[in-house]
Amino acid sequence: MKSQIVYKILIFSIVLMSATAAFAQSTGSLSGVVNDPNGAVVQGASVLVKNIATNLTRNVVTNVDGRWTVTNLPVGGYTVSFDKDGFKKASNSGVQVEASVTRAVEVTLEVGVSDVYVDVVSEQPLVQAESAAVSRQITGEQLTKTPTSTRSFTGLLSAESGVSSELSPVGVNGNGNISPSVNGTRTTSTSLFFNGVDATNITSNEGSLTDNISPAPETLQEVKLQTSLYDASTGRSGGGNFQLVTKAGGNAYNGSAYYYLQNKNFNSNEFFLKESGNEKPRADRTELRVHPRRSDQEGQSVLLRRVSVHRRQHRPCADGPHTYSSASGNDCPWNGSFEGRDRRSF
């Protein structure tokens, strides 16, 4: 009797360990129906889906209803080709796959020999009929070409409908993230997924984006914001769901370079503060510039070394040793004087 109980517990434990959770996907899907000129469905048509950047290919065949579906496709641009004996081949280029979205691609094959190609221009549907989720996609091009104050993807979220936020607390957050409120919910009622992995509580035990990861904008393929009616894979929070998808490798070498400068002298004072004789509040910088050097010779670049500071033993207007943390996390001593210096200048 005892051995049977142990055996049942063992089987139950194996079942629990083998169960998989439904995570938010960093991939998308394509589906559609193939018809002939009379509107009848075409069974047995070959559908070839090819990634433009990586040449990844997937091949499926339409069923008795003329329907086909390709799932788990990496985010990016695709070319969808259709082939069936007795019909001209059709090719639909420029089909965009988004994270957690099933994109419908419909096609009507023309009667003719199969060695003739017909190019079909892809148009994004105005209504997403495959899902009831209310979502908004921010493309990688929008992320790199839209300026933000802190070079953070969160700076573009506030421009979306139903999203609001306050200024980023730069004094405690070096990455410049803001934590938005979606549809009036708390800023901690959001969830964040990074390439399909739940990163909501990566550094703190709540849903705020302030103290979380902040990938460089040029490394992101897209940012997906879901505000309501999303499925169970992303429905852990009552507010919004944010999905980050990084760029994948391709057949061409690509790179980026940028020069980022943020200075308090660029920010003019507000009208009412100026009228009352008050200065505009300035951010308490978390960076310390060590030996900035500039070369006036043509062809040489500017060298600015920056070290993140967490202000340990920080005593303004005092002499003596001070300790700060470098970008690598090491404690670095500094023996100097703060006499006559404003704390905000550090």
Give the domain CATH number at 105.
2.60.40.10
| Confidence bin at 238 (pLDDT 50/70/90) | confident
Query: Which phi-psi region, left, alpha or beta, contains residue 196 (left: φ > 0; alpha: ψ -120 to 50)?
Result: left
pLDDT, the chain, mean: 71
100-116 confidence digits (pLDDT tens):
788 888 899 988 876 65
Pairing of strands 67-74, 102-104: unpaired
Residues with Cβ < 8 Å from 343, sequence gap 6 or more? 284, 314, 316
The Cα–Cα gap between 236 and 213 comes to 19
Alpha-helical regions (H) of the chain:
2-18, 140-145, 271-275
Q: What percent of the chain has pLDDT over 70?
A: 58
Has residue 18 got a pLDDT over 60? no
Has residue 47 got a pLDDT over 90? yes
Of 72, 96, 121, the domain-final residue: 121
Q: Are 170 and 227 in the same domain?
A: yes
| Confidence bin at 93 (pLDDT 50/70/90) | confident
pTM confidence score: 0.55
Residue 276: predicted pLDDT: 85
**Domain with 167 in it: what CATH number?**
2.170.130.10
Q: Are 139 and 101 in the same domain?
A: no
Backbone angles phi and psi of 90, in degrees to 5: -125, 145
Q: Are 143 and 220 in the same domain?
A: yes
Element (H, E) at 104: strand 102-104
Token pair 């391709």 in the structure block, residue: 250
Q: Are 144 and 217 in the same domain?
A: yes
Return the sign of the alpha-carbon dihedral for residues 105, 109, 110, 113: positive
Q: Are 109 and 159 in the same domain?
A: no
183-231 confidence digits (pLDDT tens):
888 888 888 888 888 888 766 666 677 777 888 888 888 888 887 766 6
User: Mean per-residue pLDDT for 16-41?
Assistant: 71
Q: Select the highest-mean-pLDDT range: 19-28, 70-79, 152-161, 260-269.
A: 70-79
Q: Are 230 and 181 in the same domain?
A: yes
Q: Are 187 and 102 in the same domain?
A: no
Beta-carbon count within 10 A of 32 CB = 22
The Cα–Cα gap between 31 and 284 comes to 51
Q: Is residue 234 part of a domain?
A: yes
The Cα–Cα gap between 145 and 298 comes to 28
Domain boundaries, position 219: 134-246
Q: Are 143 and 225 in the same domain?
A: yes
The Cα–Cα gap between 141 and 293 comes to 33
Q: Is residue 110 part of a domain?
A: yes
What Å distances lie between residue 34 and 39, 42, 166, 193, 340, CA to CA? Answer: 9, 6, 49, 34, 76
The Cα–Cα gap between 289 and 270 comes to 28
Q: Is residue 150 part of a domain?
A: yes
Higher pLDDT, 284 or 295: 284
Higher pLDDT, 238 or 1: 238
Question: Which residue type does 32 have?
Answer: G
Q: Are 111 and 144 in the same domain?
A: no
Has residue 331 got a pLDDT over 90? no
Q: Is residue 57 part of a domain?
A: yes
Residue 35: predicted pLDDT: 92
| Confidence bin at 177 (pLDDT 50/70/90) | confident
Q: Is residue 274 part of a domain?
A: no
CB 308, CB 286: distance < 8 Å = yes
Pick from 178-187, 198-207, 327-336: least confident: 327-336
The Cα–Cα gap between 223 and 234 comes to 14
What Å distances lie between residue 146 and 138, 158, 166, 279, 288, CA to CA? Answer: 11, 13, 19, 29, 27
Pick from 119-133, 169-183, 289-303: least confident: 289-303
Domains held by the chain: number:
3
Q: Are 81 and 152 in the same domain?
A: no
Q: How would you label 145-179 residue by residue, b for 16+ Cβ within 10 Å and e otherwise? A: eeeeebbbbbbbbeeeebbebeebebeebbbbbbb
The Cα–Cα gap between 165 and 149 comes to 14
HSE (CB half, 13 Å, CA atoms) of 90? Answer: 22
Residues with Cβ < 8 Å from 232, sequence gap 6 or more? 22
Written as six digits, the tokens of 271 are 């009208």
Of 121, 149, 184, the domain-final residue: 121
Query: Which phi-psi region, left, alpha or beta, contains residue 190 (left: φ > 0; alpha: ψ -120 to 50)?
Result: beta
Of 121, 146, 164, the domain-final residue: 121
Q: Is residue 327 part of a domain?
A: yes
Q: Is residue 301 part of a domain?
A: yes
Token pair 């003019």 in the structure block, residue: 268
Three-class DSSP category at 250: coil
Q: Is residue 265 part of a domain?
A: no
